[in-house]
Chains A and B, each alone.
Chain A
Amino acid sequence: MVATAARKAGADRAASLRIGPLSKTFTLKTGPLRTETVQALGDIRLDVPGGSFVSIVGSSGCGKSTLLRIIAGLETSYDGSVTLDGRPIGGPGLDRGVIFQEHRLLPWLTVEQNIAFGLKTLPRAEVARRVREHLELVGLEGFAKAHPHQLSGGMAQRVAIARALVNQPRVLLLDEPFGALDALTRIQMQQEILRIWEAQRTTMILVTHDIDEAVFLGDEVVVMSSRPGTIRKRLPVGLPRPRDRSSPDFIALRKEIHREFFTASELPFAYEI
């Protein structure tokens, strides 16, 4: 009952994102007087409905992180349009939370201070309440006074998630958030982020090079190709959650995405986790 109420409130809050057509070029200095332009993104079109979970997979250097940085407002020079609930994105904003690959906690602040760091100015009691609430959300109640160097990689990333959520963003952008974690912690964190998404129903956009992760989490998997970064394929994942990574449907989907990256001759030995 409580859960559905929260979900409903969340669904009202979650924003839909409309990208495109969008392209981006970088100018590289290749010599004293020579410059070269490199197209990072070419004609990206993507609609993300409010409250959905979209995974974007691609090999490194395909521009998927650039795309996420544009949505975050960290890259402001691009051609085309990106709108959040109809409003164009012109810079960073609290309506979008970002989780980076590295936790980026401030080492001199405690866990609770790190979470409060992102919080806009509020009465002290309200700050304390929200920090406590989000510590509970990520399961770190006992670590409020700990410093980042006392935490494991997974715990630090949980704090980063709490910090990103504390302002109640309407979109959460995840930039290879579990890429630096070991395989077991990564699986734990994937379940964790799914639980948080189901509780909060924030729109989530995940960038990853881990196909398994993309299929496990996303309502839809967007496959990107490199140079320039374009959307090669969009695959809806129709599987019910929680998803069984060893079910035939899951494996079939994973293989289909895998085929987008590797030629047939590379495939036979494929990929067993």
Chain B
Amino acid sequence: MSAELASDARSAQRAGLRAGAKTGALRSRLGALAGVLPGVLGRAALYVALPVALLAAWQAAFALGYIRPILLPPPTRVGKAFVDLAASGDLFRHLGVSLLRVLEGFAIAALVGLPLGIGIGLSRTLDRLTDLIIQLTKPIPPIAWIPLAILWFGIGEAGKVYIIFLGAIFPILVNTIDGIRQTDHRHVELARVLEVTRRRFILQVVLPGALPNIMTGLRVGLMVAWICVVAAELIAASSGLGYLIMDARQMSQTDQVLVGMITIGAMGKLLDVVLRAAERRLITWKTTFSGS
């Protein structure tokens, strides 16, 4: 992204220089700006084009009377409900509650999943010891744990955090193990030749090599955590975005249902952006294919 920008800026500068040779520096600077601007705007337009088109089609379908508002209220009405819920503070209260649950469950999953994954990745004995139980529990959807969670923890916070923990830990665990197992054998050989200590081998060879996979695990885990919090709140909660959605459905306020859904989507996207930014900062050495 920044490389693209830089190369655009360079070509723009070149174009600008050509103009500037004739008519002076100001002209060249304007030329550079004119060269960069359409590129940036063009990419931004491409990014939002599809959602905007869908919104327009949705609104048009309502205006032409194709859909009943009770089934699918138009974007304008959802927008109004959003403003109302935001103004009353309800939206942020529910969002805050859900976000806190997600972060708690996710943090516990990371605190357990990362060390466990590293341990299993490094030790064949630990792998053998834990493999069957992991393979057996992994396919059970976290939602299937909800009845047990209610029995064990009641309908308080602990049960929901537990569900989120269960949802987030497996992607973290599995990706961490994978990342460690994919350590380049050529680097392993190098470490043997140089008689590197096990500590240095783990810290400087294995973990940095596994980091891309670990970051993927964390991002997928966080996504699953959002799915789980809403599922848990739909069934047993008196607060949170899932509760907001369920409550609105019972009142037949479809617009508020949509506000809840869109808020979840936006929050998930935002957290992914944060994790991706962290990933870029941590992993600067990797050059990967980013589409053509």
**Which residues of A are in contact with B by a Cβ distance under 8 Å?**
72-74, 92-94, 96-98, 100, 102, 104, 106-109, 117-118, 120-121, 147-149, 163, 167
With A106-B208, A117-B204 given, is the CB distance from A93 to B187 under 8 Å? no
Give Cα A97–Cα B4 distance, bound, in whole angstroms: 42
Q: Chain A residues near B284 (CB, 8 Å)?
A: 147
Choose among B187, B194, B208, B209 the residue that contacts A167 (Cβ–Cβ < 8 A).
B194
Give Cα A78–Cα B234 distance, bound, in whole angstroms: 66
With A117-B194, A117-B196, A148-B285 given, is the CB distance from A74 to B204 under 8 Å? no
B136 close to chain A: CB less than 8 A: no
Q: How many inter-chain contacts with C-beta < 8 Å in the A-B complex? A: 51
Q: Is the CB of A104 within 8 A of B195?
A: no
Closest to B284 in A: A147
Q: Is the CB of B186 within 8 A of A102?
A: yes
Choose among B186, B193, B200, B211 the residue that contacts A72 (Cβ–Cβ < 8 A).
B193
Choose among B189, B195, B285 the residue that contacts A74 (Cβ–Cβ < 8 A).
B189
Choose among A104, A107, A149 the residue that contacts B190 (Cβ–Cβ < 8 A).
A104
Q: Is the CB of A118 within 8 A of B285?
A: no
Q: Chain A residues near B128 (CB, 8 Å)?
A: none
Contact with A along B266-288 (1 / 0, CB 8 A): 00000000000000000111110
With A74-B189, A102-B186 given, is the CB distance from A118 to B204 under 8 Å? no
Q: Chain B residues near A149 (CB, 8 Å)?
A: 285, 287
Give Cα A100–Cα B194 distance, bound, in whole angstroms: 13
Given A104-B186, A104-B190, A109-B204, 20 further pairs, Cβ under 8 A: A73-B192, A73-B193, A74-B193, A92-B193, A93-B195, A94-B194, A94-B195, A98-B193, A100-B186, A100-B190, A106-B204, A108-B209, A108-B283, A109-B208, A117-B196, A117-B200, A118-B194, A118-B196, A121-B197, A163-B194
Give Cα A121–Cα B194 distance, bound, in whole angstroms: 12
Give Cα A92–Cα B194 distance, bound, in whole angstroms: 8
Q: Chain B residues near A94 (CB, 8 Å)?
A: 194-195
Give Cα A93–Cα B193 distance, bound, in whole angstroms: 6
Q: Which 5 A-B pairs have the closest CB atoms?
A: A118-B194, A107-B285, A108-B208, A98-B193, A104-B190
Chain A contact residues, majority secondary structure: loop
Give Cα A108–Cα B284 distance, bound, in whole angstroms: 8
Q: Is the CB of A104 within 8 A of B187?
A: yes
Closest to A96 in B: B193
Q: Chain A residues near B186 (CB, 8 Å)?
A: 100, 102, 104
Choose among B187, B192, B195, B287 the residue that contacts A106 (Cβ–Cβ < 8 A).
B187
B205 close to chain A: CB less than 8 A: yes
Q: Chain B residues near A102 (CB, 8 Å)?
A: 186
Contact with A along B178-201 (1 / 0, CB 8 A): 000000001101101111110010
With A74-B189, A100-B186, A147-B285 given, is the CB distance from A92 to B205 under 8 Å? no
B160 to chain A, nearest CB (A): 38
Give Cα A109–Cα B193 distance, bound, in whole angstroms: 18
Closest to A121 in B: B197
Closest to B194 in A: A118
Give Cα A117–Cα B196 distance, bound, in whole angstroms: 8
